[in-house]
Chains A and B, each alone.
Chain A
Amino acid sequence: MADVSLRKVVKRYDEVEAVRGIDLDIADHEFVVLVGPSGCGKSTTLRMIAGLEDISDGDIMIGGDVVNDVPPKDRDIAMVFQNYALYPHMTVAENMSFGLRLKNYPKAEIKSRVTEAARMLDITDLIDRKPKQLSGGQRQRVAMGRAIVRNPKVFLFDEPLSNLDAKLRVQMRIEIKKVHQKVRTTTVYVTHDQVEAMTLADRVVVMNHGRIEQIGTPNELYHKPATRFVASFIGSPAMNFVPCRLEDVGGKLNVRLTDRLAFALPPARAARYQALSRTDRLLLGIRPEHVMEARPHAEPGVEPFDAVLDVTEPMGMETLVYFTLEGSQVCGRVSPNAGAQDGSPLRLAVDLNNMHLLNEVTGAVL
């Protein structure tokens, strides 16, 4: 077990900088997820930790030792790949024990470790099968088993669930979480799926264009995003952004969305945004769950308005409604009993206690 640290890590391919100076400290036992769109440098970062890619600049430390020039086999790490990368000519047991056999572990030790890992992953019955006789989910379990038996300092996962169908992915996600609860090995996990990131991670690292946008717990990222990118990347459906500006009306601070639509800010928000310029081009960021049907009684900070719905999407326990404000499409979540229908008007309300205000130019959350 060990902590992992990255200090100003850079990866250059000829002229292109895939990773542009990353600082990251991962504590012992921690489960950290690197998430971001494709090409953001998350996989490259993981492969640099594994030693599969050289680093162009900076330092990587595992357990306090700089491992920049240490070959992968001496870093004491285990990796699970997206396409499983099982050795096709070996049985499940042979696949799992390959690393231990190379290191000449005693046979009894190997057997007990493989048996234990197989039991933990519920693949005891499959131990003598070849990979081609296994389903995708079973293969991924074997790949995890191969990592577990090594008892390494760090687990590295490179989009391990991307090849599985949606239902299996949810199931395997829970399996991975269970395994981590049992073995407590420091884990770095790469995915492009923000749901996976949110559900698995102790801390999520959101990456974009080779840089870290924000590091935080899933709840911090969701409720206190630092940038527009994080705000829009985390959460599904994504956060709504509507152009707006601030104005003072009768000693109160209003946020004006359109000529006809403006909301008075709740006192806490008004105090926070008071110092902002009234002429700045701003964006109102509001999550779909904070745009709901209007309630009969007034609540502080919840402002009603009328909207004409473009499209409705019944999800069963809720209905997603889409309408247009100042050219921006806005998504809201209403009760299935709210009577939302395509093309018809509906009285909605926005909960400004949970609003965000962003600088439209810099994308910073204010």
Chain B
Amino acid sequence: MSTVTIDKSGPTRKVKYGSMSRDRTWALRWSYFFLTLFAIFSLTPPFYMLITSLKGSAEISAATNPWWVHQPTLENYVQLLTSNQFLRFFWNSAWVSIIVVTITMLISVPAAFALARMKFWGSATLATGVFLTYLIPDSLLFIPLFKMFAVFGDWTGIQLVNRWYVLLFIYPTLTVPFCTWIMIGYFASIPKELDEAAIIDGASWFQTLTRIFIPVALPGLIAATIFAFTVSWAQFLYPLVFTTSTDQLVLPVGIITTLIKGDVFNWGQIMTGALLGAAPPLIIYAFLMDYYIAGLTAGATKG
């Protein structure tokens, strides 16, 4: 048998114990540095809004420190929340958003399922086309859209311009393409065998969608819902163009058209209104954040 030689020279290079964790520490320090920077950058405007909303109009116009409240007051909140007009804007926004989200989901989920799974002639091109429509900016679309609704009104006598429900036709042009795109990605990440198993089990396409795909893709569905809600809630240009009467306005437009009178800015109430308007999406994100992230990243990692 061969003899065993034992190497006694040992390692020639000095072993750096803990070098991995030292790299990691620095990586963490840098990431916290930039995270802090980013947090300050993005939280400054809401903080400024909060400070201003707690000031009376006298204190706002006085040359005091803008970052501090000397005489905090809830006067702005009381005025807005007791104003029928503001509540009207709020309800208009809520209704529009909820109905738009419903319409969007009813269209984009079956559309995404069809485009992702029911391979038909031109389905791939159509899927890309859906996404491309999303790339057309609303600032380009609002003039032809306005013209269309005006002509439609002339022809049929059904007046849609300056009615809050005209937004139900317009917002889906923004939400449907993007939500369909998200859902296509999500559905595509579901293994092919799953729908084949369902089909062999005797499910129709519709049953496969409702009983397999929707439950399995629920995180993606929630992400798409949040997106659709945020877009409808925060939309500014379309409602500004299409609605003018005070009782038809949604929150973002209502705030600036009623609280800015000529060159008089009611800053306290503007800030309060904006802050209250930002609350619903904020609450939704806070509760569904995990789903939202899972939904947006799912296609990337799931095999």
Residues of A within 8 A of B (CB): 50-52, 71-73, 77-79, 81-83, 85-89, 98-99, 102-103, 146, 150
CB neighbours (8 Å) of B218 from chain A are 89
- A-B pairs, 9 with minimum CB distance: A99-B201, A85-B193, A73-B202, A85-B197, A89-B215, A81-B193, A102-B202, A72-B200, A79-B200
Q: Do residues A88 and B216 form an inter-chain contact, with CB atoms below 8 A?
A: yes
Supposing A83-B193, A85-B191, A87-B194 touch, asked if A78 and B212 sit within 8 A by C-beta, the answer is no
Q: Do residues B203 and A73 form an inter-chain contact, with CB atoms below 8 A?
A: yes
| B207 on interface, CB distance cutoff 8 Å | yes
CB neighbours (8 Å) of A89 from chain B are 215-216, 218
Contact for A85 among B194, B203, B204, B207, CB less than 8 A: B194
Q: Which of B199, B215, B218 has the most CB of A within 10 A?
A: B199
Q: Do residues B216 and A87 form an inter-chain contact, with CB atoms below 8 A?
A: yes
Q: Do residues A99 and B215 form an inter-chain contact, with CB atoms below 8 A?
A: no
Q: Do residues A73 and B199 form an inter-chain contact, with CB atoms below 8 A?
A: yes
CB neighbours (8 Å) of A51 from chain B are 200
The tally of CB-CB contacts under 8 A between chains A and B is: 57
Expressed in whole angstroms, the Cα–Cα distance for A88 and B201 within the complex equals 15
Chain A contact residues: over half helix, strand or loop, or mixed? loop
Minimum CB–CB distance for A147 against chain B, Å: 9
Q: Do residues A78 and B207 form an inter-chain contact, with CB atoms below 8 A?
A: no
Supposing A87-B216, A89-B215 touch, asked if A73 and B200 sit within 8 A by C-beta, the answer is yes
Q: Do residues B196 and A81 form an inter-chain contact, with CB atoms below 8 A?
A: yes
Expressed in whole angstroms, the Cα–Cα distance for A150 and B198 within the complex equals 13
Minimum CB–CB distance for B255 against chain A, Å: 42
CB neighbours (8 Å) of A85 from chain B are 191, 193-194, 196-197
CB neighbours (8 Å) of B202 from chain A are 73, 99, 102-103
Q: Do residues B199 and A102 form an inter-chain contact, with CB atoms below 8 A?
A: no
Supposing A83-B191, A89-B216 touch, asked if A102 and B203 sit within 8 A by C-beta, the answer is yes
Q: Which of B193, B198, B203, B212 has the most CB of A within 10 A?
A: B193
Q: Do residues B196 and A102 form an inter-chain contact, with CB atoms below 8 A?
A: no
CB neighbours (8 Å) of B197 from chain A are 79, 81, 85-87, 146
Supposing A85-B191, A87-B216, A88-B216 touch, asked if A52 and B203 sit within 8 A by C-beta, the answer is no
Among residues of A, the one whose C-beta sits closest to the C-beta of B214 is: A89
CB neighbours (8 Å) of B216 from chain A are 87-89
Expressed in whole angstroms, the Cα–Cα distance for A87 and B201 within the complex equals 12
Q: Do residues A102 and B207 form an inter-chain contact, with CB atoms below 8 A?
A: yes
Q: List 14 A-B contacts (CB under 8 A).
A: A71-B199, A72-B200, A79-B196, A79-B197, A79-B200, A83-B193, A85-B191, A85-B196, A88-B216, A89-B215, A99-B200, A102-B203, A146-B201, A150-B201
Expressed in whole angstroms, the Cα–Cα distance for A150 and B199 within the complex equals 13
Among residues of B, the one whose C-beta sits closest to the C-beta of A71 is: B199
Supposing A52-B196, A88-B216 touch, asked if A102 and B201 sit within 8 A by C-beta, the answer is yes
Expressed in whole angstroms, the Cα–Cα distance for A85 and B194 within the complex equals 5
